[in-house]
Amino acid sequence: MLTIDVLSHRLSSYLEPPQIQRVRHAYYYAEQAHDGQKRRSGEPYITHPLEVAENLANMHMDHQSLMAAMLHDVIEDTAISKKAIAEQFGETVAELVDGVSKLTQFEFDTPAEKQAENFQKMALAMAQDIRVIIVKLADRLHNMRTLEALKPEKRRRIAKETLEIYAPISHRLGMNDLRIEFEDRGFYAMHPLRASRLKAALATARGNRKELVEKIQGAIEIRLERETINAIVIGREKHLYSIYQKMRLKKKSFKEIMDVYAFRIVVDEVDTCYRALGAIHNLYKPVITEFKDYIAIPKANGYQSLHTVLVGMHGVPIEVQIRTKEMDEMANNGIAAHFLYKSDSDEGSNNSTARARQWVQGLLEMQQAAGSSLEFIENVKIDLFPDEVYVFTPKGQIVELPNGATAVDFAYAVHTDVGNGCVACRINGHLAPLSQTLKSGQKIAVITAPGAQPNPNWLNFVSSGKARSAIRHFLKNQRHHESIELGQRMLSRKLADANIDFDSLTEEQLNTLREGANVTSVDKLLEDIGQGNRIAFAVAKLLSPPEGSGSGGANIYSPLMIDSAEEVMISFARCCRPIPGDPIIGHVSSGKGLVIHQDTCRNINELRSNPEKINLVNWAPTVVGEFLVDIRVEVGSERGIIASLATRITELGANIEQINVDERDAHNSVINLCIGVNNRIHLANVMRRVRGLSAVIRISRNRN
């Protein structure tokens, strides 16, 4: 059983005695704070912070992270404040504890908006101190190891969240060991039957492969020894979730995946990596297209290694990774390895930290550009995809992009202004379409033009979260300004009918508009009008004098008059197709303006309980225009009946917009028509004329 003494002994391998003493102090403080509290499993609560600290100790994290792990639930679950922790353990530890505490409600049982907002908190906390997310990941790891104590529904919810958010984050930060455990435990919790069957198949396959694996490993070791290369050769096994994902996404059979043999070679120096590569290329034939040098060009998360694929004995494919011990530590622990190899001379760890901070900075930029927390989390999930493409700027700098990225993604990765202004690109010196998918190693030059702006169609092919977020942000701002301009034109026109000039409105009149419409600014009111969320006529009535006051203005409570079918920001509901002469009612719908229904329409019933959404409307006495209406004609079998119907309808000046025939049997058919008429009298004349045909059995108007 893990105790503070056992943990202290482990910490003595890399921490100074005063630092270990401070970690012990944090433990005793947390033990007292959580006194009497139990976990779902029935164990004392203090076992959880202790295990979280143990997870961090395995990564060789610093003493402040370990203290924060001991105290991470104190603010959330006890009466102790952040200030009290700061007084006892210092401001840095208090900030870490506070950062982790803010993330505790990040669960799938909350509404999507709350979940997304909590993720935004995580981004902010990570920006202040990257250790916040490392402590949080260690906390989640222990929660995943103790899922059995929870109900199945909650187990699946936490597992889903882990697979969708925490496993990709740990991969993005280069913490491979953590990612593998998250994925395998999440897989077991989400799909226990699939996981257990796959595990059994894997155990059988490994038993059958054992002899060949040992032969290949022995051959590699002998060849390296002959070249006087001191190396450790390890047979590398694919983990359960990785096999499952490959089978599911790449539509491969279990046998196809297990036919590949993988090995890792760990050496002392970087130049030895390349010597080892030459040695094994002499042993087995390499597949030329499968060589990747992640030492010269590290991955976005700081990962470094040489990757090659060989054709071994009996034609079996062999995957080999070659790296140094430090690179191996970085591959397993990622950003956490920075705290183990943190000397100034260690470029790898500093690069890893810089890349992590760069990613977090990118999160903050996306957060500012996103219109909502849901849009932000959607962009982040795009950004967490593990596959990368590495391309070069004209000056030779490396830019890392997600798989499937285009020149537009590249332009936004360079700078948001470059993305907004790009009009064309050159790939390896040749002009290419902006939508062309980029490949690693290409040199990209973006051509910009003053006054250029993003095209909405770019959203159909961009891959990076940053590009998607920046394009949407620009288009929203553009739509915002256009809506204000349109709203001002519409309101000016309606005010002019009441002999009021919009540009000459006094501050008092503007206040009347703001208060009457219950908005904070005139711009917001104009935007609502431009987007169709308010009716310009109804807003103009706020400034029109009441009836009888001498100016002939409309009373604010009088119904809105519908003058034509083409009136700006008025639409007619398809469900009931109102036409002049029908009793009508209106409601405001975003983007559609005032939607007119028949007063008897069932679809308006729910809105009647909210008077604010309902508008009183009437047809103007002089209403003009063509209004669509649906009619249903039941006819007997007769040659040329559709032609006869069409002739009679058009003779009376009505237009046929749509016709649909439903054959009931050999003798009867139902013809549904959508026709354009002027009003109810016009419709009645058309129906009377059609009813006079001998083949017509019944004719009626369709409602809802």
Picking from 74, 48, 75, 261, the residue whose alpha carbon sits closest to that of residue 140 is 48
Q: What are the residues whose beta carbons fall under 8 Å from the beta carbon of 207, sequence distance 6 or more? A: none
Backbone angles phi, psi at 83, to 5 degrees: -60, -40
Cα three-residue angle 2-55-198, rounded to 5 degrees: 100
Residue 266, phi-psi category: left (phi > 0), alpha (psi -120 to 50), beta (remainder): beta
**In this structure, which amino acid lies at residue 257?**
I
The 593-598 sheet, strands edge to edge: 570-572, 593-598, 584-589, 614-615
- Known catalytic residues? 76-77
CB-CB contact of 409 with 491 (8 Å): no
Residue among 222, 163, 225, 166 at smallest CA distance from 195: 163
Q: Which two tokens stand for residue 312?
A: 């071994």
Helix-strand-coil split of the chain, %, nearest 5: 55, 20, 30
The whole-angstrom separation of Cα 177 and Cα 309 is 23
Q: Which residue has the tokens 């402040």?
A: 64
Would the CA dihedral through 285, 289, 290, 291 be positive or negative? Answer: positive
Q: Cα separation of 117 and 291, whole Å?
A: 42
Query: Could you tell me whether strands 617-624 and 560-564 are parallel, antiparallel, or unpaired per DSSP bridges?
Result: parallel
Rounded CA separation 182/145 (Å): 9
C-alpha span between 473 and 488 (Å, rounded): 23
Reduced to 3 states (helix: H, G, I; strand: E, B; else coil), residue 693 is coil
Q: How far apart are CA 514 and CA 508, in angstroms?
A: 10
Say if CB 96 and CB 125 are below 8 A apart.
no
CA distance readout (Å), 295 to 298, 327, 330, 354, 374: 5, 9, 12, 17, 37
Structure tokens at 46: 């203090």
Neighbour-count burial of 457, counting CB atoms closer than 10 A to its CB (0-12 exposed, 13-18 middle, 19+ buried): exposed
| Token reading at 623 | 């209403």
